[in-house]
């Protein structure tokens, strides 16, 4: 490691990058001084110097460094250090940079947004004077995976005559606009800092957000000029992990930091192997959950592989199944040479990481480190710019000269092309794996703190607060309703009994339409003395009619009124009159209101918060579903493979990865758990309206079971949304 550090320092000195490293170090030091969790990722995690400066968290001694992936003399381009900060506090870091360097020396990079199908349809439809309702309907019916030829089909489905002259013109104009620049926006966090006035180098404008400046060029323009850029990025999981660690420390009565999480915990890995990972960083998607029981991670490095293997690069390059077969013992681990073993032994002879592709090029085809990095850059850009074919002859002939057969050499080149579809560097995967393990450990051992932190870090992640709460309740977490006499703005942990685990008290932030300022005034007034009535609450906390009605609709006034309907009635008269009549108190007898049904309460909960702590909506609909022979998720889990099955549930997730060859993956939730549905392209074509538009779906099909991986293969889909009545549910679609 001493030799590695000296090598890096020598190259940094030769390339005059000392000030760049120290600038990033200063930013990270500021964040940590303010208690903001942060960590570097990407190729910077290949650097031992970055680790020593505290910029990255991955111990170089645990990995396989390839520093040339980060800095290369042959490349002659500045390094790119990406640092993630808590998404809710990143603005503090941004404003620190503006304060330190001044807006004349610091600015964010721009990003050019181009026309996509929906925006092209909306703008051309508006220009042609088409009814906005029709434009909205057609735009919403078109999804990213629809081809240009599908456009007229969407017209027909939306009730628009595809043969009409206006329709033909609309379609041709929309298609012509695709890919053209639409508007300039801010980059997610790319900062350019200069020694002198930045306006002498690049054009600058004021951002839409206050106290921000934006360079009118994008990152590719800046790379072409060789300007140094620091990426100050936002990551929601860092916010959640930091909040969870604070809650654990509060419960234990002692400091508890990321470094205090026990390494290689067997219970945590057991939970991961079962794909019980709702809310866990990076391994919460359908694809990752399907991979976990197959790969069965048992060590930190297994998590590094898990993060990297479910990516388009390894999938398109044909690396996934060979690796799994070797890992499961179904195929022997072989290497074509000792040199290749050096590069591929950690992944059982199958290249999974970008660094391995570079190492293979260096060891088997005679590339220098700089040439291998140029190959990596060509891989990343070949889909957009081409340029990879020129490496074909060099790679194949170089491997043939060193004794490898042509079939193997061509296979390596195909894998390199696969990585052009997006492959992970090992250093990046290792950085993310640290957060995977930390969030998994918290979910496994501190589920109350984990849920509370996730709720307070919204919006983020793959799942809504409703889905996170449903999952936590299935794991025995006691979730308590929002209550104006107890709740703060954030959700909190609340002790319930001696030696019992705390419950999670929902915060007022989960109430739709609730304002942070109003919640703060409620807490301040409550600290003086408890509220005696809704009118007392409104008067002392300075609430207006909107605030009180939001609280009443969410049943957060229950302890003051006894129920939602009584709260809504009292809310109408609770807000004091203005001026002379403000101190007047007009007594009025409250009417006797009938109690709402359970179904009405659940509908009101969803309308006010998007979730309920009562029974799952499908528990009420179970008799109707059972009459149609739809069985719950818990029953389906007991089915044998290839058994005919019927399942129904509220749609929570729709996905169609670019590598799925048109297959749509859907997750349905009921009162007992979730059902993962696979929909083939032919089925999607037949039931497109139901699959893409329904909120409650019934699926007829065949159960597929391979070990712990279970799916329902759809053959027929029906829309059961009418059963939900006025219940407002939301799903994450194609994100």
pLDDT in the model for residue 385 = 47
Query: Is the CB of residue 647 less than 8 Å from the CB of residue 710?
Result: no
Structure tokens at 332: 């022997």
Give the angle 643-649-652 at the CA atoms, nearest 5°.
120
Q: How many whole angstroms separate alpha carbon 609 and alpha carbon 614?
A: 13
pLDDT in the model for residue 72 = 62
The closest alpha carbon to 650, from 702, 707, 612, belongs to 612
Query: Is the CB of residue 234 less than 8 Å from the CB of residue 189?
Result: yes
Q: How many whole angstroms separate alpha carbon 288 and alpha carbon 309?
A: 9
Residues 6+ apart with CB under 8 A from 206: 212, 213, 214
B/e letters for 314-334, b = 16+ CB within 10 Å, e = fewer, are bbbbebbeebbebbeeeeeee
Mean pLDDT of 462-490: 92
Of 552 and 373, which is predicted with more confidence?
A: 552
pLDDT in the model for residue 247 = 95
pLDDT in the model for residue 419 = 66
B/e letters for 699-727, b = 16+ CB within 10 Å, e = fewer, are bbbbbbbeeeebbbbbbebbbbbebbeeb
Structure tokens at 225: 């000029």
Mean pLDDT of 332-336: 85
pLDDT in the model for residue 584 = 57
Give the bridge partners for 234, in sequence order: 85
Torsion angle defined by CA atoms of residues 689, 692, 695 and 701, in that order, rounded to the nearest 10 degrees: 80
Strand order in the sheet with 479-480: 479-480, 503-505, 492-494
Residues 6+ apart with CB under 8 A from 613: 469, 479, 480, 481, 506, 605
Crossing angle (nearest 10°) for helices 545-553 and 534-541: 140
Structure tokens at 349: 């002879």
If pLDDT is split at 50, 70 and 90, which confidence band does 659 have? low
Mean pLDDT of 439-455: 95
Residue 397 has what DSSP assignment? H
pLDDT in the model for residue 410 = 80
Query: Is the CB of residue 310 less than 8 Å from the CB of residue 282?
Result: no
Three-class DSSP category at 420: coil
Give the bridge partners for 697, in sequence order: 649, 719
Distance of CA 719 to the CA centre of its chain: 28
Structure tokens at 272: 């991961």
pLDDT in the model for residue 580 = 53
The closest alpha carbon to 44, from 430, 436, 434, 427, belongs to 427
Share of the chain above pLDDT 90, in %: 31
B/e letters for 427-453, b = 16+ CB within 10 Å, e = fewer, are bbbbbbbbbbbbbbbbbbbbbbbbbbb
What is the tens place of the pLDDT at every residue in 623-648? 999 999 999 999 998 999 899 999 99
Residue 668 has what DSSP assignment? E
pLDDT in the model for residue 65 = 57
Sequence-ordered alpha helix ranges (H) in 446-597? 447-456, 465-474, 516-528, 534-541, 545-553, 558-561, 564-574
Pairing of strands 479-480, 503-505: parallel
What's the Cα-to-Cα distance from 309 to each of 304, 322, 354, 441, 710, rounded to whole Å? 9, 12, 11, 21, 20
What is the tens place of the pLDDT at every residue in 276-325? 999 999 898 888 888 898 899 999 999 999 988 887 666 666 778 888 88
Residue 176 has what DSSP assignment? H
Sequence-ordered alpha helix ranges (H) in 387-425? 390-401, 406-419
What is the tens place of the pLDDT at every residue in 38-53? 988 866 666 788 888 8
Residue 695 has pLDDT above 80, yes or no: yes
If pLDDT is split at 50, 70 and 90, which confidence band does 525 have? very high
If pLDDT is split at 50, 70 and 90, which confidence band does 381 have? low
Of 712 and 497, which is predicted with more confidence?
A: 712
Q: How many whole angstroms separate alpha carbon 283 and alpha carbon 274?
A: 12
Residue 382 has pLDDT above 50, yes or no: no
Low-confidence winner among 416-420, 494-498, 710-714 (lowest mean pLDDT): 416-420
What are the counts of helices (DSSP H) followed by strands (DSSP E) for the chain?
33, 16
Query: Is the CB of residue 161 less than 8 Å from the CB of residue 167?
Result: yes
Query: Is the CB of residue 190 less than 8 Å from the CB of residue 164?
Result: no
């Amino acid at each position: 490691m001493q030799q590695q550090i000296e090598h890096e320092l020598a190259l940094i000195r030769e390339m005059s990058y000392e000030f760049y490293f120290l600038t990033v170090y200063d930013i990270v030091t500021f964040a940590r001084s303010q208690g903001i969790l942060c960590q570097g990722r990407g190729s910077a995690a290949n650097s031992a110097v970055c680790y020593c400066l505290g910029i990255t968290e991955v111990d170089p001694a645990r990995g396989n460094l390839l520093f040339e992936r980060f800095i290369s003399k042959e490349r002659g381009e500045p390094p790119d250090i990406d640092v993630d900060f808590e998404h809710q506090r990143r603005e503090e870091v941004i404003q620190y940079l503006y304060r330190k360097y001044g807006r004349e020396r610091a600015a964010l990079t721009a990003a050019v947004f181009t026309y996509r199908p929906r925006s092209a349809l909306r703008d051309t439809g508006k220009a042609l004077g088409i009814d906005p309702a029709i434009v909205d309907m057609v735009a919403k019916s078109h999804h990213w995976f629809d081809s240009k030829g599908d456009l007229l089909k969407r017209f027909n489905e939306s009730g628009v005559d595809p043969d009409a002259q206006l329709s033909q013109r609309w379609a041709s104009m929309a298609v012509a606009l695709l890919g053209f620049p639409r508007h300039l926006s801010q980059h997610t966090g790319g900062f350019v800092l200069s020694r002198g006035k930045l306006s002498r180098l690049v054009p600058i404008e004021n951002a839409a957000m206050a106290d921000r400046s934006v360079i009118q060029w994008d990152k590719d323009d800046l790379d072409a000029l060789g300007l140094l850029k620091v990426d100050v990025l936002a990551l929601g999981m860092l916010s959640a992990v930091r909040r969870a660690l604070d809650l654990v420390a509060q419960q234990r009565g002692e400091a508890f930091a990321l470094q205090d999480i026990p390494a290689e915990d067997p219970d945590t890995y057991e939970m991961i192997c079962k794909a019980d990972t709702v809310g866990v960083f990076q391994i919460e998607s359908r694809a990752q959950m399907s991979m976990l029981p197959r790969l069965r991670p048992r060590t930190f490095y297994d998590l590094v592989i898990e993060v990297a293997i479910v990516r388009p690069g390894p999938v398109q390059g044909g690396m996934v199944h060979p690796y799994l077969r070797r890992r499961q013992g179904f195929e022997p681990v072989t290497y074509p040479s000792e040199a290749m073993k050096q590069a591929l032994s950690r992944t059982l002879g199958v290249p999974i990481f970008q660094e391995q592709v570079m190492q293979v090029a260096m060891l088997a085809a005679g590339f220098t480190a700089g040439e291998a990095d140029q190959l990596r850059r060509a891989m990343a850009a070949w889909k957009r710019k081409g340029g990879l074919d020129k490496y074909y002859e060099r790679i194949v002939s170089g491997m043939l000269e060193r004794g490898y057969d042509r079939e193997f050499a061509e296979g390596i080149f195909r894998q390199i092309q696969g990585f052009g579809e997006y492959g992970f560097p090992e250093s990046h995967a290792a950085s993310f794996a640290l957060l995977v393990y930390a969030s998994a450990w918290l979910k496994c051992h501190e589920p109350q703190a984990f849920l509370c932190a996730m709720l307070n870090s919204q919006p983020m992640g793959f799942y809504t607060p409703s889905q996170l709460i449903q999952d936590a309740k299935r794991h025995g977490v006691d979730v308590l309703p929002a209550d104006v006499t107890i709740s703060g703005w954030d959700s909190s942990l609340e002790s319930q009994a001696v030696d019992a685990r705390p419950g999670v008290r929902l915060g007022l932030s989960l109430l739709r339409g609730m304002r942070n300022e109003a919640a703060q005034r409620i807490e301040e007034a409550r600290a003086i003395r408890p509220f005696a009535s809704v009118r007392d609450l409104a008067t002392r906390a300075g609430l207006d009619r909107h605030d009180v009605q939001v609280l009443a609709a969410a049943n957060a006034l229950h302890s003051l009124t006894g129920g939602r309907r009584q709260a809504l009635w009292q809310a109408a008269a609770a807000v004091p009159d203005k001026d002379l009549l403000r101190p007047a108190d007009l007594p009025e007898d409250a009417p006797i209101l009938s109690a709402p049904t359970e179904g009405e309460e659940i509908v009101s909960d969803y309308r006010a918060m998007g979730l309920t702590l009562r029974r799952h909506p499908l528990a009420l609909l179970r008799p109707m579903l059972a009459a149609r022979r739809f069985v719950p998720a818990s029953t389906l889990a007991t089915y044998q493979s290839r058994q005919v099955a019927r399942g129904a549930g509220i749609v929570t997730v729709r996905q169609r990865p670019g590598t799925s060859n048109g297959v749509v993956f859907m997750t349905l939730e009921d009162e007992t758990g979730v059902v993962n549905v696979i929909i083939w392209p032919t089925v999607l074509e037949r039931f497109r309206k139901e699959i893409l538009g329904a909120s409650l779906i019934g699926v007829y099909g065949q159960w597929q079971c391979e070990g712990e991986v279970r799916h329902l293969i759809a053959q027929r889909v029906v829309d059961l949304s009418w059963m939900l009545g006025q219940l407002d549910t939301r799903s994450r679609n194609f994100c």
